[in-house]
A = this chain, B = another copy of it.
Amino acid sequence: VAGQRADARRNYERLLHVAAEAVAAEGADASLEQIARTAGVGSATVRRHFPTRHALLEAVFHEHIESLCAHAHTLEEAPDPRAALLDYLTAIVSAAASIRGLGEALNRGRAAGEYCATDRLTRAGQPLMRRAGLAPGVTLDDLLTLVTGIALATERHQDPAAASSRLLALSLDGFGPRR
C-alpha cells in the first residue's frame, strides 16, 4: 500500500510537471489532452487529479503564489508602509506579467468562485494594506484586479516586468496631474 501511494505520488508529480511545462509554453489554455498524452496517462487520470482547468492552474502556480505570500510576510514590519505595499504589488504584477499563464490564471480564478490564488494573495496583503492606508473606498480586491489587468495588458510587451511595474506605480500615484 505504501508502494502504491508512492507510485500515485510520483504519477501526480509527473503530471504536474508536464502541466507546468505545457502552461509555460502555451499559456492558461494549454490542451488537457496533450498534457495527458505527454504524461503518458489517460484523460480520466488528468481529470481525477485536476477536475477543472481552474484546479490545474491553481496547482501549477501554487508555489509561485506561496512565494509571493511569503514575500508579503517579510514586508509586514518594513519602515515605510506605502513602499512595502508597492513592493508586494510590484512583485505580483511582474510575476503575473512575465510568467506565462499566471495573469490569466489569476483573472479566471476569481470568476470560478472557488477559493483561489487571488484569495491567498489578498489574505497575505491585508496587513500591508492596513498599514499603508489608501484612498477612501479602495479595497485590496480593487488593487489585485488592477494588478491582474496590468499584467494581462503588458505580458506581450518587450519587458513585461518593467512595463507592468511602471504602470502600477503610475496608477497608485495617479496618472492625472494633481487637481
Contacts and interface: CB of A to CB of B under 8 A. Distances in A.
Interface of A: 29, 82, 107-108, 110-111, 132-135, 138, 142-143, 145-146, 148-154, 156, 163, 166-167, 170-179
The main secondary structure of chain A at its interface with chain B is helix
21 contacts: A29-B29, A107-B153, A107-B156, A133-B177, A135-B173, A135-B175, A135-B177, A138-B170, A138-B175, A142-B170, A143-B175, A145-B153, A146-B153, A146-B170, A146-B171, A149-B150, A149-B151, A171-B174, A174-B174, A174-B175, A178-B178
B142 A175 contact: yes
Contacts of A156: 107-108, 110-111
A107 B149 contact: no
- Give the number of times this chain occurs in the complex, counting copies: 2
Contacts of A171: 146, 170-171, 174-175
